[in-house]
Amino acid sequence: MLVRNISDKEVLDTTYLAHGGAIAQMILDRRNLQEIGFLAIARLDPGKEIEAHVDPMEEIYFILHGTGEMTVGDEARPVKPGDAIWIPVGDSHALLNTGEEQFVVLVVASPA
């Protein structure tokens, strides 16, 4: 069993700027996982955006806090805490914090 907390040094050491706007950290990744690509947490300040990009993995974004607009392909929809968004392999996707609070999302990715 592996237990990892978002405050652990191993997580904090992975902090990076994700796609132009989010501060992200890898909670678990290929160093620990066998089949799943990664589990990350990302935070967006008000007005910030994860710019449109394409990943070579299937992803799920799970909204923990805040309100935003998620775009996958040509479709944009408002998102809020408790929403899970599936992103197929190769689809362009972006996320904008439309609220006045920090937006927090978990991202799970799996290789195609």
- Model pLDDT for residues 62-103, shown as the tens digit of each residue: 999 999 999 999 999 999 999 999 999 999 999 999 999 999
Asked, for residue 37, whether it belongs to a domain, the answer is: yes
C-alpha to C-alpha distance for 86 and 4, rounded to whole angstroms: 24
- Model pLDDT for residues 8-31, shown as the tens digit of each residue: 999 999 999 999 989 999 999 999
Asked, for residue 29, whether it belongs to a domain, the answer is: yes
Asked, for residue 91, whether it belongs to a domain, the answer is: no
Asked, for residue 15, whether it belongs to a domain, the answer is: yes
Instruction: Establish how many alpha carbons lie within 13 A of residue 74's alpha carbon, considering only the half-sphere containing its beta carbon.
Output: 0
Asked, for residue 49, whether it belongs to a domain, the answer is: yes
DSSP designation for 34 = S
Residue 111: pLDDT band (50, 70, 90) is confident
Number of domains in the chain: 1
The answer to whether 25 and 13 have CB atoms below 8 angstroms apart is no
Residue span of the structural domain in which 39 resides: 7-56
Inform me whether the pLDDT recorded for 112 exceeds 90.
no
Residue 43: pLDDT band (50, 70, 90) is very high
